[in-house]
Amino acid sequence: MASTMKTVICAQPHQLVVSERPIPAAGPGDVLVRVKRIGVCGTDLHIFTGNQPYLSYPRVMGHELAGIAETAPAGARVKAGDAVYVMPYLSCGACIACRAGKTNCCTNIKVLGVHTDGGMAEYLAVPQEFVFNANGISLDQAAMIEFLAIGAHAVARADVAAGARVLVVGAGPIGMAALIFAKLRGAPVAMLDARADRLAVCAKSLGADLTVTLDTSGGNADAKELLDWTGGEAFDAVFDATGNPKAMERGLEFVAHGGKYVLISIVNARISFFDPDFHKRETTLLASRNATPADFETVLDAMRAGKIPTDVLNTHKLDLATLPETFPKLLEPDAGVIKALVVC
């Protein structure tokens, strides 16, 4: 094995640099992963553009990771040569959230590629408790588990039941993940977005029951279409996956009496709502952060059962060595990106 590896560093907003770094030394409790696939997330795009609030530069991005275990400690759940995926939320295991099994919102969490350097590199040493076997699926699929688990976690947070009417606002990858797992629970799902191309994917390939284009004219045609679909009763569960404060505030309008509103998005802003409407509906407001090991298992089981059209979701492949040239193109609206994977 060589002593150095290629690493892509986001030196500052809008600047990626390919660098040679030493291959990390695996500690006694670490798995050394030969990274083979890296999913590009909205978080990575925000880091690149300078819009991620929990980060300092320079940073090695990349938290949607799959690869091959190069070395593993004795007694680990994986062994050298296994295909693996990485759970990138490095939780402490001791805080109030971890003690309650909510490792996704650990008070001391370090997310790979955000709070600490991630996996846009040829090798990464990861504590063994965050590395899992990916048998039965491809490396491409393994690199998509994390973003799908975020959608699965949001749907679990709302405890979506069969027949419950669901609205997902924002048809990006996370919104599509919420659609997939709400449908797997037997819920009819409507999607609202400004992009016709993404809505078409939701309708044609992901099972959306209704797709509605955002009304940008200043009218309210989109709201009328959505509410008409529910007979005027609105939705049992609404998920926001836009990352837009105005959309997050507006989404409350679509929650039925007794319904739930789940904010998957995070924005560096305050959001507000009209309390009388919130109160009279006895709305349940939920945040949904990251995912738990159980959510990852939910995704893995669905993948192994062939219930997730990952070939539809993976629209682009990039090479690690040429990432500084190709990565900015992912930001172009006409690129048609749903999920891009970096190949090492």
Report residue 28 as tokens: 């006694």
pLDDT band at 275, cuts 50/70/90? very high
> pTM of the predicted model, to two decimals?
0.96
Average pLDDT over every residue of 44-59: 87
Using one digit for the tens of pLDDT, what is the confidence trace for 214-227?
999 988 999 999 99
Average pLDDT over every residue of 293-304: 98
Using one digit for the tens of pLDDT, what is the confidence trace for 109-134?
999 999 999 999 999 999 999 999 99
Strand pairing class (83-86; 131-133): antiparallel
β-pair partners for 190: 167, 210
Neighbours of 228 (CB within 10 A): 10
Torsion, Cα of 214, 216, 221, 226 (10° steps)? 20
Cα–Cα separations (whole angstroms), residue 228 to 130, 190, 208, 223, 259: 45, 12, 16, 8, 17
The pLDDT of residue 54 is above 80: no
**Residue among 257, 247, 259, 236 at smallest CA distance from 171:** 247
Q: How far is 33 from 72, CA to CA, in rounded Å?
A: 9
Q: How far is 48 from 13, CA to CA, in rounded Å?
A: 5
pLDDT at 254: 98
Q: Are 112 and 87 in contact, with CB atoms under 8 Å apart?
A: no
Average pLDDT over every residue of 283-288: 98
Q: Are 267 and 245 in contact, with CB atoms under 8 Å apart?
A: yes
Exposed, middle or buried: residue 53 (CB in 10 Å: 0-12, 13-18, 19+)? exposed
pLDDT at 267: 86
Q: How far is 344 from 182, CA to CA, in rounded Å?
A: 33
Using one digit for the tens of pLDDT, what is the confidence trace for 161-177?
999 999 999 999 999 99
Contacts of 75 (CB under 8 A, 6+ apart): none
pLDDT at 219: 87
